[in-house]
């Protein structure tokens, strides 16, 4: 063992004594499928498997670690259970490799490489799945993403927690992540006690007791902001808020308030917008009567109307006089002096505890731990989904956002009030602005919106996402996921109105659990500033996507159906193909005229920017890409909406190339370069996966959960057990727990 490895292990607690004993033979259980009339019959048998000594791995593997990343534990010859597939007449349902635990991630390094080329690809750090994160592989997960860990001992399942001592005879562990991804690892081939060794390490490092134990505080690599992130407004400067006031023509009644100094326990930023006629002293005095000192805060405006956020009065104040006085100050900010509409969100929307309970039920539904559970709940899936109330809460948020948006369109100021002014008001305020302001439907605008409404105005991300284990369960609630789901619903209803895609939204949800970027790691801007000064944390905004992904991945962030860009392309083509005197309707006009509104509703032509969503529960869909992408039984091989999405991207790319050939295009932008990178990779995949027995035309073998699932070679289509229309659950399959439930 190397000197570096000895030095590294001295930094961590040794959980068990290493026992250099390898099992000479292992009894494995295999479940063989015999489908009858569409059903699946399982037969189990055990057989001894002699494992040659050369198949066992040693400690010579040296992983590539990040700056500040240290190895805490490892186990060799670990089985990771995967979706079953057939190759060369044999059923494969597991991979053997090394399981590593560091202070940043759990990593599984597979040793089952099919050929030398695949091994070289792996050694070069290229991910086997399509979307490749620079910090995490397809078989990696950040420790911040881990939600629950279960241990299996003698066919019994028990959750791993600090309250219970882990067993010395752990056969398997199952990990459920906050983004619905699951892992199952078996230790039958490993040294005795390795199951407990890994479980103890995960318990220690995956559930930190203090915020400064997050990997964010250890990763000290220098950061240089890329051009992609330069134009994102952080709203940590007075000029950002003033520019927003000017953009909304709201400088007449509102002004930017700046603190003299930071308050250690304040959740408010240094700069925000308050009524213009109130002095700093007057505003501070009124704010003392409200929770977290959050009185009226302006966030957006339309004509003379304003969107304002407000917390409840302190619990010891029973007289509402102060609140009425504040609402009067808000009224005075309106040039028309109209009375503002107060929406008490805590009365009409679910509490954060309700949302968290719904999330737990949804997660249980989308992360079955066995084939039996999956099949049992499949027949009553929609009943269980309805009982989770998740889609109901999504519809409620859209409904009340639409109500607030219509009030603002009618010129009435809307005040969003909730208990602390940092949770549901973030959701509703953000959705209202998406409905009314088309600039927030671009990628940059959407990032600006999140930075303003969620990050700077102090949504407690650390508490709500459970970054620290000591936070009370009542404080946890994935409200940001609820907002992203609502945004996804709008994207489905108005696909031409948004520049970003569902891939962007799903990736954004994954990025909440990457403790390398600080955007979603703190409860407030004050905490971020304290970490910067006291712990010298290197701040990296998550919006610098080039630090995480290649161009091929960034190309999928954009929506090929986005109206603004598509209209520009089609109009340019039309202007050169038809004369101005052509009697025919222009292509672009006919494509988009259906979405335009007239003045029959009493609104101006400017109303084409406004979105009016369908909010009834029957119109709400389940975000399958986000919730189902890790469930192989639900994956559609060689099909799904992903195929249509890629076709749209190729068509739009071809239009751009035609314009370039005709000399009509402008200077290529970053999106064109990203699309070129995507096409090059997919073209190589078409060549590599072409079936020699099929037609000469190759096809890209992607599935419905692309780009989050692996690329499947076309030549193996007939060999897959789990196919688009023929699902067979072979032996223990993805979840590898059916044998434990005998």
Of 122-126, 181-185, 397-401, the one with minimum mean pLDDT is: 122-126
Residues 625, 630, 632, CA angle at the centre, nearest 5°?
Answer: 105
Q: Is residue 191 part of a domain?
A: yes
Q: Are residues 252 and 357 in the same domain?
A: yes
Q: Give the tokens for residue 82.
A: 């995967």
Q: Are residues 201 and 234 in the same domain?
A: no
Q: Are residues 550 and 649 in the same domain?
A: no
Has residue 436 got a pLDDT over 70?
yes
Is the distance from CB of 66 to CB of 100 less than 8 angstroms?
A: no
Of 134-148, 267-281, 326-340, 643-657, the one with minimum mean pLDDT is: 643-657
Q: Give the tokens for residue 119.
A: 């091994």
End of a domain among 516, 539, 560? 560
**Total-model pTM:** 0.83
Is the distance from CB of 475 to CB of 463 less than 8 angstroms?
A: yes
Please state the rounded mean pLDDT for residues 358-369.
Answer: 95
Q: Are residues 136 and 184 in the same domain?
A: yes
Q: Are residues 496 and 528 in the same domain?
A: yes
The CATH number covering residue 97 comes to 2.30.29.30
Spatial CB neighbours of 577, under 8 Å, sequence gap ≥ 6:
none
Residues 675, 676, 677, CA angle at the centre, nearest 5°?
Answer: 90
Q: Give the tokens for residue 413.
A: 């100021």
Has residue 240 got a pLDDT over 70?
yes
Please tell me which of 183-197, 594-608, 687-701 the model is most confident about, judged by mean pLDDT.
183-197
Q: Which residue has the higher pLDDT, 88 or 455?
A: 455
The 8-class DSSP code of residue 587 comes to: H
Has residue 548 got a pLDDT over 60?
yes
Has residue 504 got a pLDDT over 60?
yes
From 696, 705, 703, select the one nearest 625 (Cα to Cα).
Answer: 705
Q: Which residue has the higher pLDDT, 563 or 731?
A: 563
Q: Which residue has the higher pLDDT, 585 or 642?
A: 642
Half-sphere exposure of 466 (CA within 13 A, CB side): 19
Has residue 681 got a pLDDT over 50?
yes
Task: State how far the Cα of 509 lies from the Cα of 552, in Å rounded to an integer.
Answer: 19
Task: State how far the Cα of 179 lies from the Cα of 160, in Å rounded to an integer.
Answer: 19
Determine the structural domain holding residue 441 and report its residue range. Answer: 227-560
pLDDT at position 669, please?
62
Q: Are residues 388 and 336 in the same domain?
A: yes
Task: State how far the Cα of 649 lies from the Cα of 638, in Å rounded to an integer.
Answer: 17
DSSP line for 246-269 = HHTT-TTTEEEEE-SS--TT--S-
Residue percentage of the chain with pLDDT more than 90: 60
Give the pLDDT band (50/70/90) at residue 17: very low
Q: Which residue has the higher pLDDT, 160 or 577?
A: 160
pLDDT at position 683, please?
65
Query: Crossing angle for the helix pair 424-436 and 390-409, nearest 10 degrees?
Result: 60
Spatial CB neighbours of 308, under 8 Å, sequence gap ≥ 6:
296, 297, 298, 299, 330, 340, 413, 414, 415, 416
Is the distance from CB of 391 to CB of 385 less than 8 angstroms?
A: yes
Q: Are residues 379 and 502 in the same domain?
A: yes
Q: Is 411 helix (H, G, I), strand (E, B) or coil?
A: coil
Task: State how far the Cα of 152 lies from the Cα of 160, in Å rounded to an integer.
Answer: 10
Q: Are residues 271 and 311 in the same domain?
A: yes
| pLDDT tens string 567-625 | 655 555 555 555 444 433 332 333 333 333 333 344 333 345 899 999 999 999 999 99
Q: Are residues 160 and 262 in the same domain?
A: no
pLDDT at position 86, please?
55
H or E segment at 331? helix 321-332
Of 275-289, 625-639, 699-713, the one with minimum mean pLDDT is: 699-713
Q: Is 44 helix (H, G, I), strand (E, B) or coil?
A: strand
The pair phi, psi for residue 46, each rounded to 5°, is: -115, 145
pLDDT at position 699, please?
54
Spatial CB neighbours of 434, under 8 Å, sequence gap ≥ 6:
440, 441, 446, 449, 487, 490, 611
Please state the rounded mean pLDDT for residues 684-696.
Answer: 47
Give the pLDDT band (50/70/90) at residue 316: very high
Give the pLDDT band (50/70/90) at residue 304: very high
pLDDT at position 19, please?
32
pLDDT at position 35, please?
35
Q: Is 30 helix (H, G, I), strand (E, B) or coil?
A: strand
Task: State how far the Cα of 150 lies from the Cα of 161, in Å rounded to an integer.
Answer: 9
End of a domain among 560, 587, 616? 560
Has residue 166 got a pLDDT over 80?
yes
pLDDT at position 44, please?
32
Q: Is residue 365 part of a domain?
A: yes
Task: State how far the Cα of 490 lies from the Cα of 501, in Å rounded to an integer.
Answer: 11
Spatial CB neighbours of 150, under 8 Å, sequence gap ≥ 6:
157, 158, 159, 160, 173, 174, 175, 176, 369
| pLDDT tens string 253-284 | 999 999 988 888 899 999 999 999 999 999 99
Q: Is residue 198 part of a domain?
A: yes
Spatial CB neighbours of 642, under 8 Å, sequence gap ≥ 6:
702, 703, 704, 705, 706, 707
Has residue 123 got a pLDDT over 80?
no
How many domains does one find in the chain?
3
End of a domain among 538, 560, 582? 560
- Residue whose tokens read 């917008």: 273
pLDDT at position 728, please?
34
| pLDDT tens string 379-402 | 899 999 999 999 999 999 999 999
Q: Is residue 672 part of a domain?
A: no
Task: State how far the Cα of 339 lies from the Cα of 412, in Å rounded to an integer.
Answer: 8
Q: Are residues 341 and 443 in the same domain?
A: yes
Q: Is residue 262 part of a domain?
A: yes
Task: State how far the Cα of 492 lies from the Cα of 621, in Å rounded to an integer.
Answer: 9
Q: Give the tokens for residue 241.
A: 């808020």
| pLDDT tens string 444-499 | 999 999 999 999 999 999 999 999 999 999 999 999 999 999 999 999 999 999 99
H or E segment at 105? strand 105-110
Beta strands 182-186 and 297-302, pairing class = unpaired
Q: Is residue 694 part of a domain?
A: no
Residue percentage of the chain with pLDDT more than 70: 74
Q: Which residue has the higher pLDDT, 403 or 648?
A: 403
| Residues listed for the chain | 742
From 534, 543, 539, 537, select the one nearest 518 (Cα to Cα).
Answer: 539
Q: Are residues 197 and 318 in the same domain?
A: no
Q: Are residues 149 and 278 in the same domain?
A: no
Give the pLDDT band (50/70/90) at residue 712: very low
Tell me the average pLDDT of the chain. 81
Half-sphere exposure of 494 (CA within 13 A, CB side): 22
Q: Is residue 551 part of a domain?
A: yes
Has residue 27 got a pLDDT over 80?
no
Q: Is residue 99 part of a domain?
A: yes
């Amino acid at each position: 063992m190397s000197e570096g490895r000895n030095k590294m292990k001295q930094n961590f607690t040794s959980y068990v004594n290493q026992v250099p004993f390898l099992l000479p033979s292992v009894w494995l259980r295999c479940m063989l499928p015999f489908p009858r009339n569409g059903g699946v019959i399982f037969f189990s048998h055990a057989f001894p498997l002699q494992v040659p000594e050369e198949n066992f791995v040693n400690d010579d593997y040296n992983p590539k670690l990040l700056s500040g990343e240290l190895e805490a534990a490892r186990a060799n010859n670990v089985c990771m259970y995967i979706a079953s597939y057939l190759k060369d007449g044999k059923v494969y349902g597991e991979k053997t490799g090394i399981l590593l635990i560091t202070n940043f991630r759990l990593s599984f390094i597979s040793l089952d490489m099919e050929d030398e080329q695949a091994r070289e690809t792996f050694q070069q750090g290229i991910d086997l799945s399509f979307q490749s994160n620079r910090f995490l592989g397809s078989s990696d997960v950040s420790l911040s993403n881990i939600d629950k860990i279960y241990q299996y001992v003698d066919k019994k399942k028990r959750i791993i927690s600090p309250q219970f001592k882990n067993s010395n005879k752990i056969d398997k562990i199952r990990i459920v992540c906050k983004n619905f991804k699951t892992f199952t690892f078996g230790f039958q081939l490993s040294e005795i006690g390795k199951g407990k060794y890994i479980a103890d390490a995960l318990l220690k490092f995956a559930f930190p007791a203090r915020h400064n134990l997050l990997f964010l505080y250890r990763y000290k690599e220098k950061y240089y902001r890329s051009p992609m992130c330069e134009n994102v407004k952080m709203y940590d400067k007075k000029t950002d808020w003033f520019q927003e006031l000017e953009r909304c023509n709201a400088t007449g009644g509102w002004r930017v308030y700046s603190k003299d100094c930071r308050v250690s326990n304040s959740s408010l930023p240094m700069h925000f917008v308050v009524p213009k006629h109130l002095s700093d002293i007057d505003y501070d005095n009124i704010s003392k009567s409200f929770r977290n000192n959050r009185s009226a805060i302006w966030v957006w405006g339309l004509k003379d109307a304003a969107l304002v956020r407000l917390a409840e009065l302190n619990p010891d104040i029973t007289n509402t006089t102060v609140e009425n006085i504040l609402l009067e100050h808000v009224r005075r900010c309106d040039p028309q002096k109209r009375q503002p509409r107060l929406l008490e969100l805590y009365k009409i929307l679910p509490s954060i505890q309700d949302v968290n309970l719904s999330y737990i039920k949804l997660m249980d539904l989308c992360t079955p731990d066995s084939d039996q559970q999956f099949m049992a709940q499949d027949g009553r899936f929609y009943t269980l989904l309805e009982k989770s109330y998740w889609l109901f809460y999504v519809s409620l948020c859209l409904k009340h956002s639409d109500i607030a948006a219509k009030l603002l369109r009618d010129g009435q100021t809307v005040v969003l009030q909730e208990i602390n002014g940092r949770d549901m008001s973030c959701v509703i305020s953000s959705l209202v602005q998406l409905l009314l302001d088309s600039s927030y439907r671009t990628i940059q605008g959407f990032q600006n919106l999140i930075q303003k409404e969620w990050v700077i105005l102090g949504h407690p991300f650390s508490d709500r996402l459970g970054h620290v284990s000591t936070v009370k369960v009542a404080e946890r609630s994935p409200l940001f996921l609820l907002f992203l789901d609502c945004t996804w619903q709008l994207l489905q209803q108005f696909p031409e109105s948004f520049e970003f895609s569902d891939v962007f939204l799903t990736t954004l949800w994954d990025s909440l659990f990457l403790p390398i970027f600080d955007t979603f790691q703190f409860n407030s801007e004050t905490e971020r500033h304290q970490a910067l000064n006291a712990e010298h944390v290197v701040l990296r905004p998550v919006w610098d996507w080039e630090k995480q992904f290649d161009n091929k991945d960034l190309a999928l962030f954009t929506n090929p159906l986005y109206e603004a860009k598509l209209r520009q392309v089609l109009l340019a083509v039309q202007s050169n193909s038809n004369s101005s005197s052509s009697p025919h309707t222009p292509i672009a006009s006919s494509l988009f005229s259906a979405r335009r509104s007239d003045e029959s509703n009493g609104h101006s032509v400017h109303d084409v920017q406004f979105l009016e969503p369908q909010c009834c529960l029957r119109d709400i869909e389940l975000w399958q890409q986000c919730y189902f992408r890790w469930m192989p039984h639900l994956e559609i091989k060689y099909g799904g909406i992903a195929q249509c999405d890629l076709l749209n991207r190729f068509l739009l790319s071809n239009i751009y190339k035609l314009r370039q050939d005709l000399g009509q295009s402008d200077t290529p932008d970053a999106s064109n370069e990203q699309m070129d990178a995507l096409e090059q990779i997919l073209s190589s995949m078409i060549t590599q996966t072409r079936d020699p027995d099929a037609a000469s035309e190759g096809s890209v073998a992607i599935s419905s959960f692309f780009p989050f699932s692996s690329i499947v070679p076309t030549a193996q289509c007939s060999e897959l057990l789990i196919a688009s229309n023929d699902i067979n659950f072979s032996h223990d399959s993805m979840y590898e727990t059916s044998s434990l439930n005998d």
